[in-house]
């Protein structure tokens, strides 16, 4: 029972961490607080469902189509909708207000389109829903695959950002955009790239989640909120913090659902969030300042 | 040759830089002397593309027109700025700061050689290569800032108050390093409060007051100019005119 819950918690937490890393990139590097973030996740889930049920493409192969498409779509959103706001914003606070309003509106548009296509019903599909025994606990293979892929993507992101020049340039823009310009980094292009990369990550999360969770067109807000909570708990712009906070949240939710009451998971989420905010307002791993 | 012509900068109604023209040759250190708030920082920022200049300004680098170009193009063209307050990436390591210095395409080919030159110029950085830059002393951070700028393989280097906050000993080391950089063929435009030391290594100088260039000359003639001595070198005192 304990191992089973811990394993489920880790899997759920891994999804949260992956999704939060993308939001962290969008907010930390591109300085966009993207409230339509969860909508892209749900859109990716529906795409994976459509590919699986309509064209018999398994979701892992589906990743190869959905993730690049999400990257391209996010890049376009940045160039067409958000770049004009960035250009006209005088201060970072003004930009924050503008982008929150714009992406809030975008969330409704995307949600409306999905409701039009799929209605409000819950969707799911069965891919490798085969039980296996690990350490005496029973888990479905698709969940293990989802966790494995999330870990692989997270590691690739971490090493890409810390071990390559392009990744270091992305971090430089997060740390100090003006100095980044002084070393010939095109800050606007880098911000667009980071925003698109964040979109690719959340789409990967959406495809993986669709393998074992039911979803509907209204679920986006929930994922946006959870990603936001994880990012803030981990410390804004801190990928390692997002990872730990994501796992912590997944474990808490699963333990509460297993031993207390499944109806209290959201309450547990927000209690944990409040606790962290009270004790460490800068996040678990945030530095001083903002 | 770096040529700046008729460059003006304003913040709303306040004119920070008024119609400034100057030039710097390769192999030359040119210093701009002037009181705080005289527009020197705005001038350097405008040349580097961080601050928009008013229409009519020209910035030419080896004949190439750069006025109005974005900052990252100006670095690619061969001009690097070490800004006031250094502008290093404090969260990143010394190694990462230097690596980003060579982010410009023009710098990639000679990256290894430039890195050797920088570490040769500032051996301290080699010892601290994995340290997070913000945990270093002010002098070491200044070395990171200058090293990072040199990694972009510039033809011209602009420095804004590099000696600010440094001990006299570190100051001497800094100015000696600047002279070595010049001797390697890089033109240097320097804004400094420390007139005595900067005139000692400079080839030429400009005097800037209230947003305008009000005088220029060889470093030697400026050192012996009574007005310069009174205003910047603390000779003769300011009371007896």
Instruction: List, for residues B201-211, the tens digit of each pLDDT value.
Output: 999 999 999 99
Count of residues for chain A?
290
- Which among A181, A183, A186 has CB closest to B101? A183
Secondary structure of residue A209 in the 3-state scheme: helix
Q: What is the mean pLDDT of chain B?
A: 91
User: What is the reported pLDDT for A200?
Assistant: 96
Q: Is residue A75 part of a domain?
A: yes
Q: Is residue A98 part of a domain?
A: yes
pLDDT at B234 over 80: no
- Note the pLDDT tens digit of each residue in B27-42: 999 999 988 878 999 9
pLDDT band at B239 (very low <50, low <70, confident <90, very high): very low
Q: Is residue A229 part of a domain?
A: no
- Note the pLDDT tens digit of each residue in B184-220: 999 999 999 888 899 999 999 999 999 999 989 999 9
B75 CB neighbours in chain A (<8 A) are: 181-184
Q: Is residue A278 part of a domain?
A: no
Contact (CB, 8 A) for B194 and B172: no
User: What is the reported pLDDT for A36?
Assistant: 93
A169 CB neighbours in chain B (<8 A) are: 100, 103
Which residues form the domain of A202?
Answer: 2-221
CA-closest candidate to residue B22, choices B222, B185, B207: B207
User: What is the reported pLDDT for A77?
Assistant: 95
User: What is the reported pLDDT for B65?
Assistant: 92
Mean pLDDT of A52-68: 92
Q: Would the CB atoms of A179 and B99 count as touching at under 8 Å?
A: no
Number of Cβ within a 10 Å radius of residue A269? 20
Closest A-chain CA to B75: A184
- Note the pLDDT tens digit of each residue in A213-222: 999 999 999 8
Instruction: Report how far residue B4's alpha carbon sits from residue A285's, in angstroms, rounded to the nearest whole number.
Output: 47
As a whole-number percent, the residues of chain A with pLDDT over 70 amount to: 98
User: What is the reported pLDDT for B156?
Assistant: 96
In the numeric block, the tokens 């012996």 are attached to B224
Q: DSSP letter string over A9-56?
A: HHHHHHHHHHHHHHHHHHHHTS----TTHHHHHHHHHHHHHHHHHHH-
Going across the sheet that includes B156-160, the strands are B79-82, B156-160, B187-192, B29-33, B204-209, B212-218
User: What is the reported pLDDT for A290?
Assistant: 35
Q: Is residue A156 part of a domain?
A: yes
pLDDT at A164 over 70: yes
Between B44 and A289, where is the model more confident?
A: B44
User: What is the reported pLDDT for B35?
Assistant: 83
A175 CB neighbours in chain B (<8 A) are: 89-92
Q: Is residue A247 part of a domain?
A: no
Q: Please check whether residue A133 touches B, CB under 8 A.
A: no
B50 CB neighbours in chain A (<8 A) are: 178, 181-182
User: What is the reported pLDDT for A92?
Assistant: 80
User: What is the reported pLDDT for A289?
Assistant: 36
Mean pLDDT of B96-114: 94
For chain A, the maximum distance between any two Cα atoms, rounded to a whole number of angstroms, is 58
Residues ≥6 apart with Cβ < 8 Å to A100: A33, A35
- Which among A175, A176, A185 has CB closest to B103? A185
User: What is the reported pLDDT for B78?
Assistant: 95
pLDDT at B171 over 60: yes
CATH of B2-232, one of 1.10.3720.10, 3.40.50.300, 3.90.1510.10, 3.40.50.800: 3.40.50.300
Q: Is residue A231 part of a domain?
A: no
Split into its structural domains, chain A has a count of 1
Q: What share of chain B is helix, strand, coil (3-state, %, to 5)?
A: 40, 25, 35
A187 CB neighbours in chain B (<8 A) are: 72
Token representation of residue B49 = 């593309």
Q: Where are the domains of chain B?
A: 2-232
- Min Cα distance B238 → chain A (Å) is 39
Q: What is the mean pLDDT of chain A?
A: 89
pTM of the model: 0.88
Which range scores top for mean pLDDT: A136-145, A267-276, B103-112? B103-112
- Note the pLDDT tens digit of each residue in A96-142: 889 999 999 999 999 999 999 998 899 988 888 788 888 778 888 88
In a 10 Å sphere around its CB, with 0-12 CB exposed, 13-18 middle and 19+ buried, how is residue B135 labelled? Answer: exposed
As a whole-number percent, the residues of chain B with pLDDT over 70 amount to: 97
In the numeric block, the tokens 């982008």 are attached to A99
Between A249 and A290, where is the model more confident?
A: A249
Mean pLDDT of A260-288: 82
């Amino acid at each position: 029972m304990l191992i089973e819950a811990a394993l489920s918690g880790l899997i759920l937490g891994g999804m949260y961490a992956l999704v939060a890393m993308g939001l962290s990139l969008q907010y930390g590097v591109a300085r966009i607080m993207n409230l339509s973030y969860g909508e892209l996740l749900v859109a990716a889930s529906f795409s994976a469902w459509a590919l699986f049920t309509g064209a018999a493409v398994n979701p892992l192969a589906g990743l190869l189509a959905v993730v690049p498409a999400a990257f391209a779509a996010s890049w376009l959103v940045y160039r067409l909708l958000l770049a004009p706001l960035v250009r006209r914003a005088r201060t970072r606070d003004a930009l924050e207000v503008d982008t929150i309003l714009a992406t809030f509106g975008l969330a409704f548009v995307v949600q409306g389109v999905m409701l039009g296509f799929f209605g409000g019903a819950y969707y799911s599909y069965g891919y490798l829903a085969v039980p296996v025994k690990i350490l005496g606990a029973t888990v479905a293979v698709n969940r293990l695959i989802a966790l494995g892929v999330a870990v692989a993507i997270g590691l690739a992101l971490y090493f890409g950002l810390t071990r390559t020049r392009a990744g270091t340039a992305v971090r430089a823009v997060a740390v100090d955009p003006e100095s980044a310009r002084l070393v010939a980094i095109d800050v606007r292009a880098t911000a667009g790239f980071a925003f698109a990369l964040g979109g690719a990550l959340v789409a990967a999360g959406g495809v993986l989640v669709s393998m074992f969770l039911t979803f509907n067109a209204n679920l986006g807000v929930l994922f946006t909120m959870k990603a936001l909570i994880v990012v803030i708990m981990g410390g804004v712009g801190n990928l390692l913090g997002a990872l730990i906070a994501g796992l912590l949240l997944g474990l808490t939710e699963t333990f509460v659902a297993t031993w207390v009451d499944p109806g209290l998971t959201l309450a547990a989420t927000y209690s944990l969030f409040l606790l962290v905010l009270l004790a460490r307002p800068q996040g678990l791993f945030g530095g001083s300042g903002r | 040759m770096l040529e700046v012509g008729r460059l003006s900068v304003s913040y709303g109604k306040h004119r920070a830089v008024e119609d400034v023209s100057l030039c710097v040759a390769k192999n030359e250190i040119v210093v701009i002397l002037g009181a705080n708030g005289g527009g020197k920082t705005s001038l350097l920022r405008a040349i580097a593309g961080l601050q928009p200049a008013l229409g009519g300004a020209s910035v030419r680098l080896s004949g190439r027109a750069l006025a109005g170009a974005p900052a990252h193009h100006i670095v690619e063209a061969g001009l690097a700025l070490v800004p006031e307050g250094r502008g290093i990436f404090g969260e990143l390591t010394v190694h990462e700061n230097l690596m980003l210095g060579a982010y410009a395409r023009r710098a990639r080919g000679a990256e290894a050689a430039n890195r050797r030159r920088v570490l040769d110029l500032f051996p301290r950085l080699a010892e601290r290569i994995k340290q997070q830059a913000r945990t270093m002393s002010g002098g070491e951070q200044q070395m990171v800032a200058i090293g990072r700028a040199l990694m972009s393989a510039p033809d011209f280097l602009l420095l804004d108050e590099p000696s600010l906050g440094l001990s006299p000993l570190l100051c001497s080391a800094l100015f000696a390093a600047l002279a070595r950089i010049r001797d390697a063929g890089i033109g240097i435009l320097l804004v400094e409060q420390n007139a005595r030391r900067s005139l000692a290594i400079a080839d030429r100088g400009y005097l800037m007051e209230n947003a305008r260039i009000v005088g220029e000359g060889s470093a030697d003639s400026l050192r012996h100019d009574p007005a310069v001595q009174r205003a910047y070198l603390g000779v003769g005192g300011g009371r007896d005119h």
